[in-house]
């Protein structure tokens, strides 16, 4: 036998097995200890330096590599598994999901297409999403890196419809200027999608907000009319379920009827908020989502599946395939065998080689069940309501936005301080909380005000964690005054 055959596999399988067991043990211990220790810590320069070494020509034993990981990588991660990580919108992950990642790595599946069991897993996950959101059987979907790419994909299909299919060859040549609409608080990935698709970010109109932070349908209609009068071609409305500033949920039913009236595509950005479909007391606020033309949502946020895993769903599966399908000769399929298979995910998006993202979603939901995930969503929303109520009661704190779902924005705001001083105090509160590893909320800017944004999408967070945060903000604020 050729001695070089499989020479990248371990030479000593027993030693490799022992290392694997050790890694699994350490992983479990780390998960058990997620609540202890600082949320985040600064990376010392000498540690950062170890990641600047050049490409090694010779390999070294895995236990040696693990030493570097233990010492230099694991202590300095972002902290989003910790119960007091409240920054941006970051899922907390689960041990089940981590195990799935490990297993998926050992399968090394390429989910571009072809006929193999992993494809069935992805199809099953997509069918769960379809059922959850009430999309019809002819709808299509595929897993993507996240909502940003899912939105690019969905809006490509919307553009395909608006140009009657000519976009694939001719681009936007000869088209009237296509314009679309989203709330002023929509995620920046929507504007990025417009620019990536050659429409230009200016073609996305930022529509004014109602008092609850959602898109104002009356303002939307005026914008559409203004564009029509100006000879533009409105083609899409991007609704948000869970705005990144305050968790606002757009009125999907009203947006749907406006889209009907003007012949527009309704895309829903449900990056994290779509998970509220699993929370019985919140799900009714998503009514109308089942009528959307497309939906982008994430599993890696409020479903706690490890990064990265998002999903796009398109109501008209044929249109979706027409926007991306068409395979080169070497990808011709056969009636049977591995080159067969009816649906190849590569026909539904820009990626050809694709990892087995569906597996960690499938595994997590098999292991936890949708009810437990929904309960975590409900608990986070109740925590947000309690935090908002506490902030409203504290005279030194001021709320900066409505708290519609799971996000509370506030700031330390005693009387008699200039705006610039208040911003500086709040900036220093945030940096102090971070540096001490006490908690990681993220900064938020509203107009010229800087404040503290707490996003609750962590199933490990408790009421005590939030008490600790509020007490720490108050104590730091008092200590930092006057700014000096
Ligand atoms: C409302 C909203 N839309 C889109 C995105 C982008 O999602 P992703 O980071 O999965 O690409 C986010 C991310 O936080 C978001 O909150």
Q: Looking at residue 3, what is its pLDDT?
A: 75
Q: Rounded to the nearest whole angstrom, what is the distance from the C-alpha of residue 221 to the centroid of ligand 1?
A: 26
Q: Looking at residue 178, what is its pLDDT?
A: 98
Partnered with residue 204 across adjacent β-strands are: 180
Contacts (Cβ under 8 Å, ≥6 apart) of 324: 153, 156, 346, 347, 348, 349, 350
In this structure, the residues whose C-beta lies within 6 A of any atom of ligand 1 are 89, 146-148, 187, 189, 240, 242, 244, 269, 271-272, 298, 310
Q: Looking at residue 5, what is its pLDDT?
A: 87
Q: Looking at residue 482, what is its pLDDT?
A: 63
The pair of three-digit structure tokens given for residue 63, joined into one six-digit string = 């236990």
Q: 372 vs 237, 363, 375, 376, CA distance in Å?
A: 33, 14, 5, 6
Q: Tell me which of 86, 89, 294 to substitute to probe ligand 1's pocket, judged by most ligand atoms within 8 Å of the beta carbon.
A: 89
Q: Rounded to the nearest whole angstrom, what is the distance from the C-alpha of residue 9 to the centroid of ligand 1?
A: 38
Using the atom order of ligand 1, give the atom closest to the CA of residue 151.
Answer: 4
Alpha carbons 446 and 400: distance in angstroms, whole number: 8
**pLDDT tens-place values along the chain, 484 residues long:** 677 888 999 999 999 999 999 999 999 999 999 999 999 999 999 999 999 999 999 999 999 999 999 999 999 999 999 999 999 999 999 999 999 999 999 999 999 999 999 999 999 999 999 999 999 999 999 999 999 999 999 999 999 999 999 999 999 999 999 999 999 999 999 999 999 999 999 999 999 999 999 999 999 999 999 999 999 999 999 999 999 999 999 999 999 999 999 999 999 999 999 999 999 999 999 999 999 999 999 999 999 999 999 999 999 999 999 999 888 999 999 999 999 998 899 999 999 999 999 999 999 999 999 999 999 999 999 999 999 999 999 999 999 999 999 999 999 999 888 999 999 999 999 999 999 999 999 999 999 999 999 999 999 999 999 999 999 999 999 998 864 4
Q: Rounded to the nearest whole angstrom, what is the distance from the C-alpha of residue 275 to the centroid of ligand 1?
A: 13
Alpha carbons 73 and 479: distance in angstroms, whole number: 33
Predicted TM-score of the model (pTM): 0.97
Q: Which domains does the chain have, with CATH numbers?
A: 41-77 (no CATH), 110-355 (3.40.640.10), 371-480 (3.90.1150.170)
Q: Looking at residue 484, what is its pLDDT?
A: 47
């Amino acid at each position: 036998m050729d001695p070089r055959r499989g020479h990248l596999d371990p030479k000593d399988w027993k030693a490799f097995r022992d290392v694997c067991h050790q890694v699994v043990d350490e992983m479990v211990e780390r998960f058990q200890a997620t609540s202890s220790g600082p949320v985040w810590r600064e990376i010392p320069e000498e540690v950062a330096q170890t990641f600047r070494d050049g490409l090694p020509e010779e390999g070294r034993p895995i236990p040696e590599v693990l030493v570097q990981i233990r010492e230099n990588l694991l202590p300095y991660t972002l902290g989003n598994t910790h119960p007091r990580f409240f920054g941006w919108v970051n899922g907390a992950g689960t041990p089940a999901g981590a195990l799935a990642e490990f297993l998926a790595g050992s399968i090394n599946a390429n989910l571009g297409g072809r006929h193999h069991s992993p494809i069935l897993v992805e199809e099953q996950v997509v069918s769960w999403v379809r059922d959850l959101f009430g999309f019809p059987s002819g709808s299509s979907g595929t897993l993507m890196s996240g909502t940003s790419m899912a939105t690019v994909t969905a809006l490509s299909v919307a553009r395909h419809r608006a140009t009657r299919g000519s976009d694939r060859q001719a681009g936007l040549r000869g088209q009237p200027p296509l314009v679309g609409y989203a709330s002023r608080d929509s995620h920046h990935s929507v504007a990025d999608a417009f620019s990536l698709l050659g429409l230009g970010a200016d073609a996305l109109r930022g529509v004014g907000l109602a008092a609850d932070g959602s898109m104002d349908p009356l303002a939307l209609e005026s914008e559409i009319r203004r564009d029509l009068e100006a000879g533009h071609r409105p083609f899409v409305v991007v609704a948000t379920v869970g705005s990144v500033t305050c968790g606002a949920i757009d009125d999907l039913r009203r947006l749907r009827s406006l889209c009907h009236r003007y012949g527009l595509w309704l895309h829903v950005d449900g990056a994290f908020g779509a998970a509220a479909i699993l929370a019985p007391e919140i799900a009714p606020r998503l009514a109308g989502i089942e009528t959307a033309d497309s939906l982008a949502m994430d599993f890696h946020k409020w479903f706690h599946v490890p990064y990265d895993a998002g999903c796009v769903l398109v109501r008209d599966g044929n249109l979706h395939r027409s926007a991306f399908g068409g395979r080169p000769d070497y990808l011709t399929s056969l009636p049977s065998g591995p080159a067969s298979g009816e649906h190849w995910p590569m026909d539904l998006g820009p990626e050809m080689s694709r990892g087995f993202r569906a597996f960690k979603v499938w595994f997590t939901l098999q292991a936890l069940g949708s009810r437990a995930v929904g309960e975590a969503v409900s608990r986070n929303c109740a925590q947000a309501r309690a935090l908002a109520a506490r902030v409203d009661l504290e005279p030194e704190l001021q709320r900066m936005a409505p708290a519609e779902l799971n996000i509370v924005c506030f700031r330390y705001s005693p009387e008699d301080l200039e705006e610039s001083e208040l911003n500086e105090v709040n900036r220093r509160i945030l940096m102090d909380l971070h540096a001490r590893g006490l908690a990681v909320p993220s900064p938020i800017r509203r107009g010229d005000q800087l404040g503290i944004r707490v996003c609750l999408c962590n199933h490990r967070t408790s009421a005590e964690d939030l008490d600790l945060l509020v007490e720490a903000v108050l104590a730091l604020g008092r200590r930092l005054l006057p700014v000096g």
